[in-house]
Structure formats: structure tokens, C-alpha cells
Structure 1
């Protein structure tokens, strides 16, 4: 079984209205042609004005505790940028929170649709959801361990909240199928893995060995999540039998006549 995409009355293409298409593509009469050819120069100039005059997206809050002030001072004296580490920790905290909510939404859709197009089970989704929630807690504890405030929103946390908004909309949309929802989850898992790798490198640079240990465990779990979601997405899209025997890359190199 694979994702069922049906043919319907899709009117978005030009070919659906050939008579109107002809008039749209015919040359514009000289009387209607602008005296000066238009381009996006004015738009680019307006955007440039906003860019050069804009304030930063936000700021990393100053330490609210004595412990945080001391930790920040020591880190700065050592030549590090403690505000960068706190910003990226805030980013990961925000993303893991979204990840938990994404799986909450996918669990609801899976239960409602009773979809059997993949080997995915409710227990699988609940386990990943628990992992995401635990990762959120790990990052929150890491922020507190260096005197930061996990309830504050850093610039990168703000950014990732906006970025992930579309993923939440895709999974929560009642019209999207399990396969389409898994595509959105796959995008999140790819970004999640890259984010953990960056955070581990940053923690190593700041000599945060305890963080590195905890974050490596989280990264290993996220890699497992990515592999499982990719498998489920392939199963939902191209079928269980094909997915079990070949990856998407293998199928792309295969003779089309061999794919059934």
C-alpha cells in the first residue's frame, strides 16, 4: 500500500483554460506598454533601506543570577562568547519544544486516520515524542547549569520559532495525509540533526564536557529518529515493498520498468 494521490478538478494550471491562456500570452498592445521597462530595482532599494535601518532580532539577556554572572565573566575572560552558546541553547530549546508538538500533532492524525501505509506504530511515535520532550528538558537544564534563564527567548529561539511555524501548519492541517505530514516531520528531523551537531561543537569550544556528553546521547537518538521517519516517508510514498528493498537513491538510479 502506498500514498494515494487522486486526480480531480484542479483548476490552477494554464491548460485548464486554453482560450484565456491565449489572450494572456498575446503581445501587450503598445498603448498599454509602460514607457519605462519595469524591474525589481525599486523593491530591492526599499528592502535595503529596511535592512540597513533595522534593529537586531533580539538579544541574549544578561545573567539574572550571581552564578550566571560569574560563569559568563569567566567564559568571556577565557576568550569565548558565552552569549553565543546561550543563544544556540535557546534555539535548540525552542526547536525541541516544537518537535514535541509536531509529534503530538502526528499522533493525533495517525489515530484519526488509522493509516496502515507504513510500518509506523503508535508506540513508535509516542517513544519519539518522549525523546523530544526529554531533549527539551536536557537543554533547559544545560542553560540553567551555566546560570542562564531557559524561559527567556533568545534571538535564535525567536528565529527558529518562525521557521518551524510552517511545519506545524503542515502537520496540523486536516487535509494533509500521513505521507505529507511525514514529509514535514522529515524536514524537521534533518534540521534537528544539524542543530545538535552545531551545538555539540559549540559546547566543546566552551569546554562544557557535561553538555557534550548529554548532547551526544541526544544526537544519537535524533539520528535514529531521522532514519525511522525517512523509512516511513518512503513507505507511505512509494510502498512498503519497494522501501524495504531499496532507498530513494537506489530507486532513482534504477530502470523505471523495474519499479512496480
Structure 2
């Protein structure tokens, strides 16, 4: 059996665990809805939706892309501008992918650490295979950093989209680093990351083809093929883990 698995226990989070309290909760929610409606109709106070709208109207963008810092970047940006393209948009998305691949490398580092403490892994899954995927994620980060450099950008810059993807990735790390999560839950986390990775590489390839960067498009296509392979591998491990967890004797 796996060291940690889903069990039956004293979970009391559901409303049906306490019908009396559930009724009182529903009454309180109805009163809140009535109060919110009456306050909105009367124009008194500031409700949450109005407050959020005000924040959105006043908010600045999530960072910016710095101008090129070398002649190559300046000439490249000018040439793309003459062709009707905005190089800084491409650099922003390249920065996003670089940040995500760096985060993916760290996510697999955390997964390897987690899985190494398990007494048994799903059939067909090995730490060596996890390490191989981790190393490919690191190679993708290096390739993206090189691409940014060749286009005249600074690969150490945290672009707006890189900032956003960093925030999005926080939940994945929280699940992976939680000592209570199971092997299957960790694999579900990796699968979520890989699904985002595949879709994002597809979109980046479409974007970069419009900038006439055929060589980069070919390199990125190879990265996409690797990510598709990662997704299929993790999906297979997760399916096996669920089968072993759901059926008696499945992990023997």
C-alpha cells in the first residue's frame, strides 16, 4: 500500500453532518442577500461589487516590459515595428514561459522530494523518470532565456505575464509541499501544471511564427513535443495511482 492514502474519517465539513446548523446557516445567507439587495436599491453604503469596480478602474497594469538595452534589441524592435509587430509583447510572453519553466523545474524538485519518502509508487513510475522530466523543464528554461537574449531582451526581467504566472503557480507549490497530500494528489498537481504548459507552448508558437522567427518556432515545437510527452506520462501515472487506491489489492 502507499504510505498515505484517502481514508474514511470524521469529516464534518458538509452541511448534512449537522442539519440544524445547516438550516440556521441558510437563513443567515438569505438575510445577507436581502440586506445586500435593499442596500443596493437604496443606494446606501458601498457594496463589494462596487468597491471592486472602483479598484479595477484605478488600478495600474501589472508591471511593464523594459525597452531594449542593446543595439540588437533596438534594431530588432524597430524592424518589427515597421512590420506592424510589437516586439515587447513577444518578449513579455517569452518571459512568462521562462518563469513558468523555472517554476516547473522547482515543482518537479518538490515532487521528487515528496515521492522519495513514499514506501511505494504507482506501478511504472520511477524517481528517475521524474528526474528526466525535471531536467527537460530546466532545459526549456535555458532555451527561453537564450531566445530572450537573442531578441535583445533581458532574461532576468520579471515581465507582467511572468509576474502573473508566478502568482498562478503558488497554489501548485502549496499542494506539492503540503506533507498531508497523497501521491495521487501530487500527480494531479503535476498534471494541472503540464496541461497549462502544453496549451501555453502552443499559443507561444503561434505568436512567434507571426514575428518571422522560424528557427525559434522549430525549437519551440520540439519543446512542445516534450511537454506533450510529459503530460501523457503524468496522466498515465495518475490513472494507475487512482486504480490502485480505489480497488482492493490494486497496489499489491
Shift of 1:182: 0.7
3-state SS of 1:105 partner: helix
- Could you list the runs of 5+ residues in structure 2 that have no partner in the other structure? 41-46, 248-252
1:73 is aligned, of 61, 78, 81, to 78
2:219 maps to 214
* TM-score of the pair, normalised by structure 2: 0.87
Point out where structure 1 has 5 or more consecutive residues left out of the alignment: 243-260
Post-superposition, which runs of at least 4 consecutive aligned residues in structure 1 deviate over 3 A? 1-4, 18-25, 239-242
**Structure 2 contact 6–182 (Cα < 8 Å) conserved:** no
- The CA RMSD over aligned residues, in Å, is 2.3
Aligned residue for 2:43?
A: none
Alpha-carbon distance in structure 2 between the residues aligned to 1:141 and 1:241: 45
Deviates more, 1:109-118 or 1:162-171: 109-118
1:38 aligns with 2:36: yes
Separation (CA, whole Å) in 2 of partners of 1:127 and 1:7:
35
1:123-169 alpha-carbon deviations (Å, 9 max, x no partner): 10010000000000000000001110000010000000000110011
1:15-42, CA deviations, whole angstroms, 9 ceiling, x for partnerless residues? Answer: 32344335445x67xxxx68x6324962
Paired with 2:204 and 2:103, the residues of 1 have a C-alpha distance of 17
1:81 CA drift (Å): 1.1
Partners of 1:108 and 1:192 in 2: CA distance: 22
Between Structure 1 and Structure 2, how many residues are aligned? 237
Residue 241 (structure 1) shift: 11
| Contact 2:107/2:173 (8 A) holds in 1 | yes
Distance in 2 separating the partners of 1:14 and 1:136: 46
Q: Is the 8 A contact 1:115 1:178 kept in 2?
A: no
Cα deviation, 1:72-118, whole Å, max 9, x if unaligned, reads 11111111110110000000000000110110011001101133233
TM-score, L = length of structure 1: 0.85
Aligned to 1:245: none
How far does the alpha carbon of each residue in 1:178-237 deviate from its partner, in whole angstroms, 9 at most, with x for none?
Answer: 100111111110000011011111110000111111101100000000000011111111
Corresponding residue for residue 257 of structure 1: none
